[in-house]
Structure 1
Amino acid sequence: MQLTGSEILIECLKEQGVDTVFGYPGGAILNVYDELYKHSDEITHILTSHEQGAAHGADGYARATGKVGVCFATSGPGATNLVTGIATAYMDSIPIVAITCNVGVSLLGKDSFQEIDIAGVTMPITKHNYIVKDVNDLADTIRKAFIIAKKGRPGPVLIDIPKDVTANKAEYQKETPKPLKALNQVSEAELATALKLIEECKKPYIFVGGGAILSDASKELVTFVRKVDAPVTDSLMGKGAFPGTDPLYTGMLGMHGTKTSNYGVSECDLLIVIGARFSDRVTGNAKKFASNAKILQFDIDPAEMDKNVLITAGVVGDIREVLGLLNERLSKQEHKEWIEKIMEYKGRFPLAYHPDVLTGPYVVEEIYRQTKGEALVVTEVGQHQMWAAQFYRYTKPRTFLTSGGLGTMGYGLGASLGAKKGRPDKIVVNIAGDGCFRMNMNEIATAVRHNIPIIQVVINNHVLGMVRQWQNLFYGQRYSATVLNDAVDFVKLAEAMGAVGIRAATQEEFREAFAKALTLGRPVVIDCQIDSDDKVWPMVAPGKAISEVFDEKDLEQGK
């Protein structure tokens, strides 16, 4: 059957089970949008306010569902506006396919109107990318892109299609996607070494990263934890892989991790690292990280072994498969005294905050109470992100969506729209600081336009909170370019874009505002006024070991 390139593109998306696309049209991609119009009953298009919102929307959809997210953009500035979103997905190993269109093949390389070499621009931030100059190659390229995005360590793929290719015709034959082939078998020698290390240790600690979520290994992880009999900590990306309500869970690790996790990892004799990449925000001073421990790492990507921290041994493979094999072979271990010591730490060093005023931690805990821990929480980047990681107890994977690797301010609102489209059954809350909200707050108009009932909570301290915290602690309180003390009214902005706006300055006002938001079924913006000098505790100073973690009391006592 002879079809145009645009028809082939839409048919291939339907082959892959794509039901939602996030995008913004323009001249070069008009043929694709004209074809998409004819299939609007099969593929929903979310017209975002900015292409960056489209990339984040595809990312949020992918994180929330486990499927590949898809975004569209036109040539030139449309394509370059996707770059931050593609880089965000790349750093966190999120499978998206970004489809851009370009000037015609004969105009490429001639500085034509709205021409950009987007394949060259995105080469360092994609798993792979393509420019399709022959319509006969288009269907196979799209199918390969989806395989690459999902296979092994996931990530973004970009396909750039010149406009004449979208109009030219080629033979199209429908194909059913084949199941992904299994990766190389897990090494028996690596498994044997791992078992030996686990069976010989006295003080194990388990550190869980985003790989456990990407491989859908939560069930196997819980079994593994019970068999090893070890406390569990996680990275920002690993939240929800192991239940945050479990007694063995000790909170996040690293710069804003709990004292319990930071002390425990510093004292353990075996650190078992599951799908985590030893980010500098986790390790602190890498030379002093887990210095008393042997390190056993499980990861699908062999490039992660010995990359940031030298390990004792590793097992390369899909996390779910590796844990499944270990669970079959590992006998039940017992570490009673070690667990008791860590639980004593947990009782001695709880997370705390000022109890009587409206604060970020209070807001997060109240969201947890009112949603009974069942919400899908999205964040921007900064203090509010850390509070959302610390004070909401995630019990299921794919319920905490955040930009961990790139730290993208402006990520959350677009991602929350994608998450809600992918998981309409979930209450979706995006938690932002006022600085982050300003970055992409135009996507509130998108939520209203498409009737996507997300709840946007703005932790408004009128400053760039995390940067100010560093300026306060390490830069002599010189608040250079971090004060946002202007006349912007987020409630009026929300109302101007067609959403509901509510302001809260006390705990009672926030309780009432959030309870109301849950009943409305509309996009809601809650502007929470908090103190400019509230800080995220505990903290590890840059360049220090995680064992040197300190909090507000330590600071007051001059420690």
Structure 2
Amino acid sequence: MQARKPVIYAGGGAIASNAEEELLQLNQILDAPVTNTLMGLGIYPATHERFLGMLGMHGTYQANMAMHNADLIIAIGARFDDRITNNPSKFSPGAKIIHLDVDHSSVSKIIEANVAVFGQVKNSLKAMIGLLKQHSDKYDKNNLKEWHSQIAEWKSSHGLNYEMYKDESDAHAILPQAVVQHVYNVTNGDAYVTSDVGQHQMFAAQYYHFDKPRRWINSGGLGTMGFGLPAAMGVKFAFPNEEVVCITGEGSIQMCIQELSTCLQYNLPIKIININNEALGMVKQWQDMNYGGRHSESTYQDSLPDFIKLAESYGHVGLKVEKNSELKEVLEKAFSMKDKLVFVDIYVDPAEHVYPMLVANNSLEDMWLSKDKKT
């Protein structure tokens, strides 16, 4: 009730507990900023004005800054893993922690909780909502105006650019961020999206705005390259009338690409968006940043298959994009083929990195914002 800089930090446990309605109801009372983990995306609507975006290693500037400067963190079905905390000794130094989780072993394991609430978070949130309603006269949303103003300033100064898709100039290479933005627009933000692991995974998490839980199907901390295609197949089996998209990279997709045969056998018309930078992009990014661009076992542009011919050999449709001016039209064509699996091979800028990126062994306010700019 006394907090002036609260943050709600919700993870995959909130989705597992089907707590989306309770989380919304809680924040109708609190009016606090909300951030999600990679596995929690969709538990709180990404288009809501209080949503900060994902936090952590490749979280948004405003989410990481809000967490670092918070005086109260309400953790809901999240585990404070190393992608979130960075250096635990420097994590949110001024915050009290209320931690809701069903798993006793996850609470106070990495970050000590001041208040621990055990049980299904859906039920815990219902109880919290009831208590807050009983004491509504003691809480004033207006006390958070200064906090919301600070967050708006952070977002304005270093927030993500969600309008990259508007640049259709062929004077430069296609940006992977723009690919995800186009996919979001073409699908009206209502697709089931699976991904593999790497840069494309982070770009999808950053730039596809999930307003519902269980629309983002991801291997998370398991880091499983090859997960995206079979996961998309499973979603399409479960929801045959829904749009299902696998956002992948040319490295990950080859790990289970033989399942294109299964897709033909069972008539699974998913859409595969291959963000092709001709490298293991995240490995290459770390080699760029930590080893002066000395690449080892991360590039293979001369040994990649012709993905269009490969998709066609499995009986599917293959489309190739190499120019910005072609991107929107080709994606619209791909998604218009409702009864076909379409493999869209999109060649993107191989030098592009994922930002923000936490500076290792530091706090959440220590970030790389671009190749040559740190906080």
Hey, what's the Cα distance between the residues in 2 that align with 1:370 and 1:336?
Answer: 36
User: Is residue 246 of structure 1 aligned with residue 62 of structure 2?
Assistant: no
Question: Could you say which residue in structure 1 is the equivalent of 2:63?
Answer: 261
Match of 1:87 in 2: none
Alignment of 1:383-394 (within 5 A): 383-394=199-210
Q: Match for residue 206 of structure 1? A: 8
Contact 2:14 2:77 survives alignment (8 Å):
yes
Letter of the 1:344 counterpart: E
Gaps (5+ residues) in structure 2? none
* The one of 112, 124, 129 aligned to 1:327: 129
2:328 pairs, out of 511, 517, 535, with 511
The reply to whether residue 308 of structure 1 matches residue 125 of structure 2 is no
Q: What is the Cα deviation at residue 200 of structure 1?
A: 2.3
Name the residue aligned to 1:437: 253
Structure 1: which 4+ aligned runs deviate by more than 6 Å?
A: none
- Asked whether the 8 Å contact 1:383–1:465 carries over to 2, the reply is yes
The equivalent position to 1:287 in structure 2, one of 89, 93, 100, is 89
1:557 to 1:360, Cα distance in 2 relative to 1, 3 A: closer
Query: Which residue of the partner structure matches residue 362 of structure 2?
Result: 544
Aligned partner of 1:415 in structure 2 is: 231
Counterpart in the other structure of 1:113: none
- Give the conservation status (yes or no) of the 8 Å contact 1:455–1:517: yes
Q: Is the 8 A contact 1:365 1:391 kept in 2?
A: yes
Deviation track 1:18-71 (CA, whole Å, cap 9, x = no partner) reads xxxxxxxxxxxxxxxxxxxxxxxxxxxxxxxxxxxxxxxxxxxxxxxxxxxxxx
1:499 aligned to which of 294, 304, 316? 316
Determine if contact 1:227/1:333 at 8 Å carries over to the other structure: no
Q: 1:489 to 1:306 in 2, by over 3 A?
A: same
Q: How does 1:143-222 map to 2 (within 5 A)?
A: 199-222=1-24
Q: Distance in 2 between matches of 1:457 and 1:220?
A: 34
Q: Which has the larger radius of gyration?
A: 1
Distance in 1, matches of 2:213 and 2:115, equals 27
Query: What corresponds to 1:171 in structure 2?
Result: none
2: distance between equivalents of 1:557 and 1:265? Answer: 21
**Alignment partner, residue 305 of structure 2:** 488
CA–CA separation in structure 1 for the residues paired with 2:11 and 2:58: 15
1:531 and 2:349 are equivalent in the alignment: yes
Question: Is 1:375 the counterpart of 2:191 in the alignment?
Answer: yes
**Alpha-carbon separation, structure 1, partners of 2:206 and 2:51:** 12
Give the secondary-structure state (helix, strand or coil) at the position aligned to 1:242: coil
- Check the 8 A contact 2:366/2:374 in 1, yes or no: no
> Counterpart amino acid of 1:251?
G
Q: How many residues align?
A: 359
Q: Which has the higher contact order (CA 8 A, sep 6+)?
A: 2
Q: Aligned AA for 2:344? A: I
Matched, 1:343 2:152: yes
Equivalence map 1:432-471=2 (5 Å): 432-471=248-287
2:86·2:364 contact (CA, 8 Å) conserved in 1? yes
For residues 283 and 362 of structure 2, what CA distance do their matches in structure 1 show? Answer: 18
Task: Describe how 1:351-362 pairs up with structure 2 within 5 A.
Answer: 351-352=160-161, 355=167, 356=169, 357-362=173-178
Q: Could you give the per-residue CA deviations for residues 193-252 of structure 1, whole angstroms, max 9, x where no partner exists?
A: xxxxxx121210011101111111101101111212210111000000000000100111
| Alpha-carbon distance in 2 for matches of 1:444, 1:247 | 40
Secondary structure at 1:510's aligned position in 2? Answer: helix
The equivalences for 1:65-76 within 5 A come to none
Structure 2 counterpart of 1:112: none
**Counterpart-to-counterpart distance in 2, 1:279 and 1:507:** 38
CA contact (8 A) 1:448 1:522 kept: no
**Structure 1, residues 273-303: CA drift from partner, whole Å, max 9, x if none?**
1101112111111111111101111101111
| Contact 1:364–1:388 (Cα < 8 Å) also in 2 | yes
Indicate the larger mover: 234-243 or 344-353: 344-353
Matched residues in 2 for 1:482 and 1:495: separation? 27
CA distance in structure 1 between the aligned counterparts of 2:196 and 2:13, rounded to whole angstroms: 21
State the 1:556 CA deviation: 2.9
Within a 5 Å distance, the mapping from 1:22-171 to structure 2 comes to none
Q: Which moved more, 1:260-269 or 1:538-547?
A: 538-547
* Structure 1 portions without partners, runs of 5+: 1-198
Q: CA deviation at 1:477?
A: 1.2
Q: Which residue of the partner structure matches residue 29 of structure 1? A: none
What letter matches 1:340 in structure 2? S
Provide TM-score, normalisation by structure 1.
0.63
Measured in 2, the distance between the counterparts of 1:546 and 1:523 equals 41
Residue 352 of structure 1: how far off its partner (Å):
2.8
Counterparts of 1:487 and 1:253 in 2: how far apart (Å)? 34
Question: In structure 2, how many angstroms separate the alpha carbons of the residues matched to 1:329 and 1:272?
Answer: 15
Q: Distance in 2 between matches of 1:417 and 1:463?
A: 25
| Distance in 1 between residues matched to 2:361 and 2:253, nearest whole Å | 30
Aligned to 2:220: 404
| Contact kept in structure 1, 2:176 and 2:349, CA below 8 Å | no
How many Å apart are 1:507 and its aligned residue? 2.5
Instruction: Assess if the C-alpha contact under 8 Å between 1:207 and 1:234 holds in 2.
Output: yes
Q: Distance in 1 between matches of 2:200 and 2:361?
A: 23
- Where does residue 340 of structure 2 map in the other structure? 522
Deviation at 1:396, TM superposition (A): 0.5
* Cα distance in 1 for residues equivalent to 2:367 and 2:114: 25
Note the C-alpha offset of 1:542: 2.3
| Number of the residue aligned with 1:153 | none
Counterpart Cα distance in 1 of 2:196 and 2:227: 6
Q: Distance in 1 between matches of 2:215 and 2:260?
A: 21
* Equivalent residue for 2:98, pick from 283, 296, 313: 296
Residue identity in the other structure for 1:319: V
Q: CA deviation at 1:347?
A: 2.0
Secondary structure of the 1:526 match is strand
Q: Work out the CA distance in 2 between the residues paired with 1:542 and 1:344.
A: 25
Q: Percent identity?
A: 40
SS where residue 358 of structure 2 aligns? coil
Residue 372 of structure 2 aligns with an amino acid whose one-letter code is: E
